[in-house]
């Protein structure tokens, strides 16, 4: 049996095969899927979607610290519990061991996004502009310094 993500991608392909407008918004595809009885929520799916929305909301929630910086209010860390990795959430007052894990997890996410961007641009350059490739710089030190100066000036 296909996993849930594969089922969603099949809905996209079926939408396209049915002659749905393309390119399409995710709302157009979702409307088609629901209208054609292709998307039904089981209790497990509803819990999973609610959990995803909760984690997205927690990840976006910011507060101002004592120095006026915008900082996240909630942090996620992948913790080993009973032999399994579980994503746990804590707030900005989390204990140091939790924050060390949360920071390492976030850094790995950023690294993964950079790796994917590099692959995407390298592939694009190979296909579309090998003689004048788009150059990517993944050293963010200057950018971080500039942002810090902008925030201090604000």
Mean pLDDT of 56-83: 94
Distances (CA, A) of 64 to 68, 147, 153: 5, 16, 16
Rg (CA), the chain: 21
Residue 1 has pLDDT above 80, yes or no: no
Q: Beta 70-72 vs 62-64: how paired, if at all?
A: antiparallel
Residue 74, helix vs strand vs coil: strand
Measured CA to CA, the distance from residue 23 to residue 16 in angstroms comes to 9
pLDDT tens, position by position, 7-38: 899 999 999 999 999 999 999 999 999 999 99
Average pLDDT score, the chain? 93
Residue whose C-alpha is closest to residue 92's, from 80, 103, 78, 81: 103
The tokens 């746990």 sit on which residue?
Answer: 88
* Percent of the chain whose pLDDT exceeds 90: 80
The tokens 């390298």 sit on which residue?
Answer: 122
Residue whose C-alpha is closest to residue 14's, from 35, 4, 29: 29
Domain boundaries, the chain: 1-49
What is residue 44's predicted lDDT score, i.e. its pLDDT? 87
pLDDT tens, position by position, 32-65: 999 999 988 888 888 888 899 999 999 999 999 9
Measured CA to CA, the distance from residue 139 to residue 129 in angstroms comes to 23
Mean pLDDT of 90-95: 96
Measured CA to CA, the distance from residue 111 to residue 122 in angstroms comes to 16
Measured CA to CA, the distance from residue 61 to residue 74 in angstroms comes to 7
pTM for the model stands at 0.69
């Amino acid at each position: 049996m296909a996993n849930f993500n594969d089922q969603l991608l099949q809905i996209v392909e079926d939408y396209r095969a049915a002659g749905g407008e393309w390119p399409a918004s995710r709302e157009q595809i979702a409307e088609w899927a629901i209208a054609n009885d292709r998307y039904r929520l089981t209790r497990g799916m509803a819990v999973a979607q609610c959990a995803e929305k909760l984690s997205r909301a927690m990840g976006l929630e910011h507060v101002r610290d004592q120095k006026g910086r915008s900082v996240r209010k909630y942090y996620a860390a992948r913790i080993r519990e009973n032999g399994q990795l579980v994503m746990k959430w804590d707030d900005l007052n989390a204990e140091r061991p939790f924050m060390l894990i949360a920071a390492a997890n976030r850094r790995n996410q950023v690294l993964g996004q950079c790796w994917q961007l590099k692959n995407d641009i390298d592939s694009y350059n190979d296909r579309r502009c090998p003689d004048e490739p788009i150059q990517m710089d993944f050293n963010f030190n200057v950018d971080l310094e500039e942002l810090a100066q902008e925030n201090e000036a604000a």
